């Protein structure tokens, strides 16, 4: 899968290039079947101190209605951990290595901005609902239950869009793009609030008030961390399509190259051959493109096309100084047609220059008789000077080399070539 122009906004199949729909079930199954795991999560050893801390601070606050905001502010460490939990669980690779973040997450000052922005919607719902409860229990419960249905959307928006107030505007996107998973998170937020209020109401009647307040603080921590764990899993499932960087390996190859690899693995050679042929017509074609095209012609049994494309392929190899591959291609062509040579005299000269030290015999075959086949070749003097050098230095045929030097001397008027002739004669004695 990949996004359009690597934007990660749209999922497409690399094989057929059709749009894909995200799987809301994922590998772990429906989220509502994992609610017990989310409710157990806050009781992990590393998170237990958060429950104790919030409960202890809540129990020490005087039992006055105006102190409700202070009780909520006692959960600051839990807010920081909740943000870190969502960040950790939204990266599947990291979540497999560590089940819960460490206490060092509280030292991330950049993360505190996200934590406070995520806590703000909860405070705006819980504080008014808490005061209304003292006047009208049904109205307070209704305000809290309805308001908390939207809290997971705001949390997801801050995580996916960034820690900015403007991210709240995207909250509705996450409700409608993952409706089933979001419904589980919304119900946990709302029903968890109702159950927590019911338990605290019972505790106030049967326990001393400080203990009841401590229970309220502990329940708030459990609710906060369980909801954060669930939201983190939602981000792990859908975050990539929402544009969230999940810390995966960065893609360095182009989309077209990745698509071709998938098509090759699926045996769609004709389709890759067609796209590669289009690439070769552009100025961006590389030796690797030509090598792929040559292999595909071989695999698909198109021998005639392979032979007809050989001169152009050979020219690309010579331009790229890929002499080993050029020699192999030349040998392959001559196995089919023993007298085959590149038709272009400039290509023959360039190839001879590149291989004359490692394959002098082949270089001689490329350069000889050029005056008969291509008498108007502008670089004929250079070609015969190179031929004379090969004959004299590689084979010790000074007499044969002298014949080509005389030809250059008699046929070419260029002063530079005449000087090279004199230099060669002086060097060979």
Residue 421 CB burial class (10 angstroms; 0-12, 13-18, ≥19): buried
User: Is the per-residue pLDDT at 60 higher than 90?
Assistant: no
Residue in the structure block whose two tokens are 């997801």: 156
Q: How confident is the model at residue 68 (pLDDT cuts 50, 70, 90)?
A: low
- CATH code that applies to domain 261-340: 1.25.40
Q: How confident is the model at residue 22 (pLDDT cuts 50, 70, 90)?
A: low
- Going from the C-alpha of 222 to that of each of 45, 147, 203, the distances in angstroms are 13, 19, 17
The closest of 389, 92, 100, 116 to 235, measured between CA atoms, is 92
Q: Say how far apart CA 241 and CA 234 lie, in whole Å.
A: 12
Residue in the structure block whose two tokens are 């100025």: 283
Greatest mean pLDDT among 245-249, 331-335, 418-422 lies in: 331-335
Q: How confident is the model at residue 69 (pLDDT cuts 50, 70, 90)?
A: low
141-180 pLDDT tens trace: 899 899 999 999 999 999 989 889 999 999 998 899 889 9
- Going from the C-alpha of 301 to that of each of 13, 201, 264, 276, 306, the distances in angstroms are 28, 81, 16, 16, 9
- Determine the pLDDT at residue 96: 62
Q: Determine the average pLDDT of the residues in 72-96.
A: 83
Q: How confident is the model at residue 247 (pLDDT cuts 50, 70, 90)?
A: low
Q: Say how far apart CA 61 and CA 200 lie, in whole Å.
A: 16
Q: How confident is the model at residue 28 (pLDDT cuts 50, 70, 90)?
A: low
388-416 pLDDT tens trace: 888 888 888 888 888 888 888 888 777 88
371 with 387: CB under 8 angstroms? Answer: no
User: Is the per-residue pLDDT at 3 higher than 50?
Assistant: no
348-395 pLDDT tens trace: 899 998 988 888 998 888 888 888 888 888 888 888 888 888 888 888
pTM over 0.85: no
User: Is the per-residue pLDDT at 2 higher than 50?
Assistant: no
User: Is the per-residue pLDDT at 315 higher than 70?
Assistant: yes
Residues with Cβ < 8 Å from 61, sequence gap 6 or more?
67, 70, 71, 74, 213
CATH 1.25.40 positions along the chain are: 261-340
Q: How confident is the model at residue 115 (pLDDT cuts 50, 70, 90)?
A: very high
The closest of 393, 320, 319, 322 to 356, measured between CA atoms, is 393
Residue in the structure block whose two tokens are 């209605």: 65
The closest of 123, 306, 96, 341 to 224, measured between CA atoms, is 123
More confident residue, 10 or 8: 10
Q: Determine the average pLDDT of the residues in 68-84.
A: 83
Q: Say how far apart CA 137 and CA 123 lie, in whole Å.
A: 18
- Determine the pLDDT at residue 175: 92
Mean pLDDT, all residues of the chain: 84
The closest of 375, 380, 428 to 404, measured between CA atoms, is 380
């Amino acid at each position: 899968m990949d996004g359009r122009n690597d934007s990660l906004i749209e999922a497409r199949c690399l094989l057929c290039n059709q749009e894909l729909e995200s799987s809301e079930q994922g590998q772990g199954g429906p989220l509502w079947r994992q609610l017990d795991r989310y409710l157990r999560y806050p009781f992990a050893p590393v998170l237990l101190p958060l429950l104790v801390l919030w409960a202890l601070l809540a129990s020490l606050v005087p039992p006055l209605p105006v102190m409700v905001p202070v009780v909520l502010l006692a959960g600051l460490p839990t807010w920081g951990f909740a943000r870190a939990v969502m960040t950790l669980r939204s990266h599947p690779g990291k979540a497999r290595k560590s089940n819960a973040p460490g206490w060092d997450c509280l030292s991330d000052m950049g993360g505190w901005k996200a934590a406070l922005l995520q806590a703000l919607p909860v405070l705006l719902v819980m504080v008014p609902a808490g005061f209304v409860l003292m006047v009208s229990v049904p109205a307070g419960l209704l305000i809290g239950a309805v308001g908390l249905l939207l809290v997971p959307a705001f949390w997801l928006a801050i995580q996916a869009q960034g820690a900015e107030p403007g991210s709240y505007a995207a909250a509705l996107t996450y409700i409608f793009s993952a409706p089933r998973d979001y419904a589980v998170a919304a119900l946990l937020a709302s029903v968890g609030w109702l159950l927590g209020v019911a338990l605290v109401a019972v505790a106030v009647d049967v326990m001393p008030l400080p203990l009841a307040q401590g229970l309220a603080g502990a329940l708030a921590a459990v609710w906060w961390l369980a909801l954060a764990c669930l939201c983190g899993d939602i981000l792990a499932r859908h975050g990539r399509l929402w544009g969230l960087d999940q810390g995966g390996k960065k893609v360095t190859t182009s989309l077209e190259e990745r698509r071709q690899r998938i098509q090759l693995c699926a045996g769609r050679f004709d389709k890759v051959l067609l796209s590669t042929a289009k690439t070769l017509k552009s100025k961006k074609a590389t030796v690797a493109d030509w090598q792929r095209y040559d292999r595909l012609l071989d695999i698909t049994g198109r021998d005639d096309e392979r032979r007809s494309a050989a001169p152009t392929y050979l020219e690309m190899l010579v331009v790229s100084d890929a002499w080993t591959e050029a020699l192999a291609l030349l040998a392959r062509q001559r196995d089919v047609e023993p007298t085959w040579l590149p038709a272009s005299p400039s290509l023959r000269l360039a190839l001879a220059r590149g291989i004359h030290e490692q394959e002098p015999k082949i270089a001689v075959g490329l350069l000889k008789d050029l005056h008969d086949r291509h008498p108007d070749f502008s670089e004929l003097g250079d070609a015969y000077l190179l031929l004379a050098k090969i004959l004299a230095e590689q084979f010790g045929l000074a007499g044969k080399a002298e014949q080509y030097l005389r030809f250059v001397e008699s046929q070419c008027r260029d002063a530079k070539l005449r000087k090279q002739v004199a230099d060669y004669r002086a060097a060979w004695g």
